[in-house]
Homo-oligomer: A and B are copies of this chain.
């Protein structure tokens, strides 16, 4: 039996279907008429129902962050996947098994060693070369043409399926101009890498860029064949802090219940602590620190300047934002609240299902399972 917002055991994860659908429509509209393929990242959703709505077709394409995701989505009929974390050779048997099931799963490499491991196998697992556009983590800088070509030449004949970059530093952008610059830097890095490979005779059919902030800020997709974004299916307070969405677009919240008060301090205690919200405090480094999340009423309406100011494992401490001078709310024991998360990926990972709230009644209309692990 599907519970209601008033009866669902708390804490639990609520997904606002109408907001999600609007976010997806915005993503799809972004690339319309550009000829650039949308390859959504499914690491945030980890749910077949969400994936089917987010992908441009039930068969893909899509991006994953774990082989567990690849296995789950391949089993659900997705036939075009990229595993977006550098591959270790001993994971290749698992990749081959997924491919043998009919899914065209590609891997990511940024070293000659990885290319040689693929060549030694002889089973034609396709690889993209990761390009480092901003020093954020992995990848070859496009200026290092020698390394780029050495990797391509160490692959089986035909070379890489393409090049791929992730503008992770865009998460630290603090203005619209900085976001646009990050998007352009991401595009130029991967286009330049593709040009180097093509000049050397490699076809390099795929030129892939992507991050939620750059996807929404980019002014040009020229030279790209595909774009990726993940968290934008739900959004979160961190993305709102970056400026790529408003809090009213965040589709995910944690339903929680009041379990006590410390009235002298203006605190309301709830049953959504950091286990329910995750330990992600990404907004702590932004202009507005949202604590462990922004507190709404049960219907999702704002409650003034109310946030989760602190959290223990299974206790949330709800109060007016420090320094706001706002009145401290004190909903009674048993009252239900919803909390917008700092980071959709981290918060959703704490749950095994989404309780989907429909637009028409504002009530739970479905439970969608989600998975975790590797």
List A residues at the B interface (Cβ < 8 Å). 7, 9-12, 43, 65-67, 85-91, 94, 110-111, 113-114, 132, 135-138, 168, 257-262, 265, 269, 271, 274-276, 278-281, 312-315, 317, 332-334, 343, 345-346, 349-352, 372-374
Contacts of A281 in B (CB 8 A): 279, 281
Cα A315 to Cα B12 in complex, Å, equals 28
Task: Return the chain B residue nearest A353 by Cβ.
Answer: B373
Could you say which residues of chain B place their CB within 8 Å of the CB of A312? 136-137, 168
In the bound assembly, the distance between CA atoms of A142 and B340 in angstroms comes to 35
Check A374 against B12 for contact (C-beta < 8 Å).
Answer: yes
B349–A275 contact, CB under 8 A? yes
Given A269-B137, A373-B351, A374-B12, A313 and B43 touching (CB < 8 A)?
Answer: yes
Question: How many Å lie between the Cα of A138 and that of B110 in the bound state?
Answer: 51
Residues of B within 8 A of A257 (CB): 88, 90
Which residues does chain B contribute within 8 Å of A350, judged by CB atoms? 349, 372
Give the chain B neighbours of A334 by CB distance below 8 A: 88-90
A9-B94, A12-B374, A279-B280 known; A313+B345 contact, CB < 8 A: yes
Contact A260 B333 (CB under 8 A): no
5 shortest A-B CB distances, which residue pairs?
A279-B279, A86-B259, A279-B280, A86-B260, A65-B314
Complex-state Cα separation, A333 to B90, whole angstroms: 10
A9 and B113 in contact, given A271-B85, A315-B85 (Cβ under 8 angstroms): no
**How far is B351's CA from A314's CA once the two chains are assembled, in angstroms?**
18
Shortest CB-to-CB span from A206 to chain B, Å, is 20
Bound together, the chains give a CA A132 to CA B262 distance in angstroms of 10
Q: A9 to chain B: which residues have CB within 8 Å?
A: 67, 91, 94, 374
A/B interface sample: 10 pairs, CB < 8 A: A9-B91, A10-B88, A43-B314, A65-B275, A88-B334, A113-B332, A135-B265, A138-B260, A278-B278, A350-B372
CB pair B137–A87 under 8 Å, yes or no, is no
Bound form: Cα–Cα A88–B265 in Å: 21
- Given pairs A88-B259, A111-B333, A279-B343, 16 additional interface contacts (CB within 8 A): A9-B91, A9-B94, A11-B374, A43-B314, A85-B271, A86-B259, A87-B259, A88-B271, A89-B333, A90-B334, A114-B333, A137-B312, A137-B317, A274-B280, A275-B349, A279-B279
